[in-house]
Amino acid sequence: MKRVQLIKSSPCVVKQFALAAALTILAQPLMAETVTQTANFSASNTGNLYNGSGSKNIVESGFFSANMLPFNTALGTLQSFTVKWEISGSLAGTSGPTGGNASGSLGGSFMINGSVYSSGGGGNGNGAGPDQALEVIFPLTPIVSEQTFSVSDAGGRYDPAILAAVIGAIPFAVAFDSAAPVNYGTIVNLAASVSGKVTLTYTYEPGVDGGTTIIYY
């Protein structure tokens, strides 16, 4: 909060200035502020490329999970919190002498402290003629899930257990419970990878910081 200090002057001028300054400060609402936490995810089959035909999971369910710190109430009053996920996968290899194909997928539920609030996913595949390069991005459009939870909507638009975790005393998990299965046929040295990012943003009204100080002489 802005501090105002009046230097020695005429009593009449000082009082008028002090009143105007005080009224101006009181008329200005506190601006919302934000604090953000981020976790990144990355995995690949480097050192264990896929060959021939088969099915593999690049990662198992539970890989896309991160512990986040609850909101620090010393900062002020929590208004809302936003969770944004960005996730994608890729495949790259060479088809066999008779041609080949490969596909991958991601899909599951988005959760906060075990409570589901949304879901998403998709897959994609590709094929190629004999001894040709083959690439796949899956899903075709990367998964982007962004949801804002207003504190006032708890128990109505979302599970109140989510808010309880966010304002609780211990870290809690944000998660996307998807594995990353890959299917391939007559492929040579298929490289597979997934990556992701989750961002948690708290929006809050800051507490009063010492108020306004006015000094009279």
93 and 183 Cβ atoms separated by less than 8 Å: no
Among 14-28, 180-194, 197-211, where is mean pLDDT lowest? Answer: 14-28
The reply to whether 5 falls in a domain is no
Q: Do the domain assignments include residue 18?
A: no
49-74: b or e for each residue (b if 16 or more CB lie within 10 Å)? ebeeeeeeebbeeebbebebebbeee
pTM: 0.81
On whether the CB atoms of residues 90 and 135 are closer than 8 A, the answer is yes
pLDDT grade for 15, boundaries at 50, 70 and 90: very low
Structural domain contains residue 19: no
The answer to whether residue 7 scores a pLDDT higher than 70 is no
* Per-residue pLDDT reduced to its tens digit, 104-162: 999 999 999 999 999 999 999 999 999 999 999 999 999 999 999 999 999 999 999 99
Is 169 among the domain residues?
yes
- Whether the pLDDT of residue 10 is over 50: the answer is no
Tell me which residue range forms the domain holding 129: 31-206
Which element (helix H / strand E) includes 78?
A: strand 76-95
DSSP string spanning 115-180? EEEEEEEEEEEEEE-TT-EEEEEEEEEEEEEEEEEEGGGBTTTB-HHHHHHHTSSS-EEEEE----
Tell me, yes or no, whether 22 lies in a domain.
no
215 lies in some domain: no
Q: Tell me the pLDDT of the chain averaged across its residues.
A: 86
- How many domains does the chain fold into? 1
Q: Flag whether 200 is in a domain.
A: yes
Q: Does residue 163 sit within a domain?
A: yes
